[in-house]
Amino acid sequence: MLSSMSNVFFGYTLLSARNGRFTSDTELAAVMREYLQIISNISVSHSQVQQSLKAISNYSEQITCQVPNFYKYNYDSVNQISDGGFDMYDGGNQIYFGKGQQLVRASYNQTFSFQDYTFSTLATYPFTALMWVDGNTDGQNYTIEVRSNAGADGAGRTARNSGWLYPNGYVVH
């Protein structure tokens, strides 16, 4: 969730490794550096969210190779992951976004444009969602929320990473 401030570009990506292995902080940092290198030459604004996702798509293999044994989950037709294994990916990666308390479920590979923000998703590897928020807002919160499950046996593991990176002069939180 993001509170109002200057123009902000933020997002979500789904990184996964085979055999229950967590994605390490080092791997996460390497992926974030790849993302920043890819989009750093794009003039980020409402109109450039889709261009940024296209650039990310072009470098998908370069991004996923930062995570050894990256697991390529299966997308289904209802904007979630369903790989048929009754595991933590089934019914997972349901993406919601919005402003204030109004969250809307996102359709994969679509862009949603509003007066003060733009949100878009890319169902490739890794899955990516990006949001651009105009800094001249009225103090509302902007949110990307991911809903998933912990698998048929409840033993699936998820992790949420948060922190600061300073690659190429950018601040990533």
Nearest to 152 by CA among 91, 94, 81, 72: 91
Classify strands 8-14 and 117-122 as parallel, antiparallel or unpaired. Answer: unpaired
Q: In sequence order, which residues have a C-beta less than 8 Å from that of residue 68 and are 6 or more positions away?
A: 17, 27
Considering the domain boundaries, does residue 75 fall inside one? yes
Considering the domain boundaries, does residue 162 fall inside one? no
Considering the domain boundaries, does residue 69 fall inside one? yes
The model carries a pTM of 0.80
Considering the domain boundaries, does residue 170 fall inside one? no
Considering the domain boundaries, does residue 2 fall inside one? no
Q: What is the mean pLDDT of the chain?
A: 77
Considering the domain boundaries, does residue 124 fall inside one? yes
As for how many domains the chain has, the answer is 1
Considering the domain boundaries, does residue 123 fall inside one? yes
Partners of 129 in the β-ladder: 12, 121
Range of the domain at 105: 8-155
Question: How do residues 107-130 score in pLDDT, each as one tens digit?
Answer: 999 999 988 889 999 999 999 999
Considering the domain boundaries, does residue 163 fall inside one? no
Higher-confidence position of 88 and 56: 56
